[in-house]
Structure 1
Amino acid sequence: MQNYTLLPEWAKQEAVILAWPHAGTDWAENLVNAQHTYVALINAVNRANAVVLLLCPQDEIDAATAALASNNQVLIVPSEYNDTWVRDYGFLTVSDNHKNYPISFTFNGWGQKFDATKDNQVNSSLAKLCQQPLIENSIVLEGGALEIDENQHLLSTASCLYNPKRNAYMTGDEYHTLFIECLGAKKVTIFNHGHLEGDDTDGHIDTLVRFTPLKGIVLQGADNRPHDPHFAELFKLQYEVSQALPTHKIYSLPLPLVLDDEGTRLPASYANYLIVNQHIIMPIYGQSEDKNALVIIQSAHPNYTIVPVLCHSLVQQNGSLHCVTMQVPTNTIKPEIIAKAQLGVSIL
């Protein structure tokens, strides 16, 4: 019997998967700004010594190539997809006996909110780039719903997992079994509180609670906004976290107030950052809270370089930086694929 273990985000990485925003996606009305954000993100990933595997429709490849610098370490992978939130449909990576395997679950548009037919075909293409075969699981599960540390303590949220339009038949015990058998979890904690207005994911853990490598917890709080509608739920979440992880130090982030052009609250979270090889690529939103959030993230990750990326354009579509990325640990992708990407912008 194989013992697969989901690797924590701070495991050494060789690549990050992105899906290029184009006019056929939700970004049509804010396309230029979204693409500029992606270019900044690609630059940050490359500076962190990882290549980018960039999903892109065939007829958008020329435009994507033109937007990138020739020395960007990017391999364009011709693909069709419904949306660019690759965190939730891109493969996860599990390890067994020093071999890394891609593992995929079913994505159903965050509880049948959106069409995900094309998204579910992406991993079959990406699997051809991997050293080991793809492990497929029919259960509905999104990458953004999971957080794990090096001790295989897995975190998630009840609001997401128990949404009846995901896996209506599954109990808490059945989820625990899934996480233990498929992802190597040794302990599972499912939080009952915490949610951001406008979040289509039903409260993904990666917008709320993140482990640090030094036995810390970064939490999206709201202490700076005691009269905010989010305050009570996030306060309850912090209490839950302190009870579940009493020996961890909690780093509570300020809550920004970001609105769209119509004055609707957007789910901006500073906890939605990406860890890549001793770098924290962190979303900022052009808000007064940005500076304090950067200081807190640096305190929580003292051995990491913090790289801010302006993500105001991303949150306009109700997500942020971590949501559009999926990291790939070292020794997962075939060496010749990584080597090709390291030579500059190329096409698979």
Structure 2
Amino acid sequence: MKKKILIFMTLIMFLPSVNIFALNNYIMPKEEQTHEGTWLTWPHKYTYGEEYRKEIESIWIDIVKALYTGENIHIIAYNNKERDRIEKLLIKNKVDMKKVDFVISKSDDVWVRDTGPIFIFDKNNKLTIVDFAFDGWGKKTKYKNDDNIPKKVAETKKIPIINVPELVLEGGSVELDGNGTMMATLSSVVSKNRNKNLTVKEVEEYIKKYLGVTNFIWLKGVTDEDITDAHIDGMARFYNENTILTVSKKDFRELYDGIDMNDYKKIQSSKNSKGEPYKIIEIPLTKKNVVGLDYKGSYLNYYIGNEVVLVPVYKDENDKIAIKIISDLYPKKKIIPIVVNNLFQYGGMIHCVTQQQPASI
């Protein structure tokens, strides 16, 4: 994902005392586990102006319309004035507002995957939020409001929250297979731009404890080619505990300037928590550079809802190919393409602006 912008003591704020992995304290379920709802940070005018909001807001409307029949929608609104404006907009678009609620919290931008709450379960299957530090993608921005969003959500929704300020970790930087394996790039998690005072082993201990990971696939990634330092969610995704979705070798070279092709080999040879090799399925990038940009778009940045899969499309020849592959992967879900060109110019797609809240176990 190319996002462009226009330490061991842990403070437990409130934790009541998934027993899936006995050695871990918490577990983050796979994205496609049944959702209670989806979280969105609604675009506004207060950081980048009215034109920015107008340019991308229709995508949020499309997302809500696609998701609300199958799950609840939780919207982070900048203030009460924005809340009222958004509510009127959704009513105008015939959204059932009984399925929508709001948390009022000032935000800097829309990337809730990175800045919003990360939901986990404790050993008693109690829903909890883990709040890792957010530092503007390695201090590339001066964002301050976004780091407060998880706390505000926890306070408003009365969900226990664990504050882990020692570890900088964005939601889009980690990909989990639901059975103990995590895939991520070192460039976006442990590098000169993130957690530089921690070793990889120390970072792994945090992730084991709070996300329930037992097996790590570390790609090298690329620093400073985009603001995220090469988040995994546009490069490779887990379909299930036995299958990885990625791009072809040719397309992999085009993801980032200077990308290490050993990362491609690493994906191809990766093994799951049982020591079994993953099956690899390739989804192409766009055939051409996205209009107005000098790079191609990824279809891997899709989002799985309860009833639908939201697929980013670009008005490109390969849209149909990607939709067909994803349709075959999720035959019981409705595939809904969403044109993301206006959002992609700022570096993100559908997965970047959504965050799932799992239903109770």
One-letter amino acid of the counterpart of residue 119, structure 1: D
The superposition leaves residues 292-319 of structure 1 with CA deviations (integer Å, 9 ceiling, x where unpaired) of: 1111222333443322111111101111
Task: Please point out which of 139, 145, 148 is paired with 1:112.
Answer: 139
Look up the match of 2:11: none
Aligned residue in 2 for 1:205: 232
The corresponding residue for 2:14 is none
Question: Which stretch shows the higher mean deviation, 25-34 or 206-215?
Answer: 25-34
1:38 and 2:60 matched: yes
In the aligned structure 2, how far is the partner of 1:214 from the partner of 1:174?
Answer: 25
CA separation in 1, counterparts of 2:145 and 2:253?
42
Give SS of 2:106's match: coil
| Paired position in structure 2 for 1:95 | 121
Deviations 1:142-161 (A, max 9, x none): 00011112211111111111
1:22 and 2:44 are equivalent in the alignment: yes
- TM-score, normalised with respect to structure 2: 0.82
Distance (Å, rounded) in 2 between the aligned partners of 1:267 and 1:153: 28
> 2:358 maps to what in 1?
329
After alignment, is 271-280 or 138-147 more displaced? 271-280
Quick check: 2:220–2:260 contact (8 Å CA) kept in 1?
A: no
- Distance verdict in 2 for CA 1:25–1:283, change over 3 Å: farther
Conserved? CA contact 1:111–1:163, under 8 Å: no
Change (3 A) 1:140 1:328: same
Pick from 164, 181, 185 the counterpart of residue 192 of structure 2. Answer: 164
Match of 2:334 among 293, 301, 305: 305
SS in 2 for 1:164: coil
CA drift at 1:266: 5.0
In structure 2, relative to structure 1, the CA distance for the partners of 1:328 and 1:234 (3 Å cut) is: farther
Deviations 1:5-48 (A, max 9, x none): 1111011101111111122234743432311111001111213x
Distance (whole Å) between structure 2 residues aligned to residue 15 and residue 235 of structure 1: 37
Deviation of 1:51 after TM superposition, in Å, equals 1.3
Is the 8 Å Cα contact of residues 198 and 267 (structure 1) preserved in structure 2? no
Q: Which runs of 5+ in 2 are unaligned?
A: 1-16, 18-23
Residue of structure 1 aligned with 2:217, choices 177, 184, 189: 189
Q: How does 1:1-348 map to 2 (within 5 A)?
A: 3-26=25-48, 28-47=50-69, 49-58=70-79, 59-69=81-91, 70-72=95-97, 73-96=99-122, 97-130=124-157, 132-138=159-165, 139-193=167-221, 199-213=226-240, 215-221=242-248, 223=250, 228=254, 230=256, 233=259, 236-245=262-271, 247-256=277-286, 257-259=288-290, 261=292, 264-266=293-295, 268-331=297-360
Deviation at 1:61, TM superposition (A): 2.3
C-alpha distance in structure 2 between counterparts of 1:132 and 1:318, whole Å: 31
Q: Percent identity?
A: 28
C-alpha distance in structure 2 between counterparts of 1:29 and 1:7, whole Å = 37
Instruction: State how far apart, in whole Å, the 2-side matches of 1:278 and 1:215 are.
Output: 22
Residue type matched to 2:233 in 1? D
Amino acid at match of 1:151: N
Number of equivalent positions: 327
Give yes or no for contact 1:279–1:304 (8 Å, CA) kept in 2. yes
- TM-score norm. by structure 1 comes to 0.85
Cα offset for 1:222?
5.8
| Conservation of the 8 A alpha-carbon contact between 1:221 and 1:234 | no
**1:235 shift after superposition:** 5.4
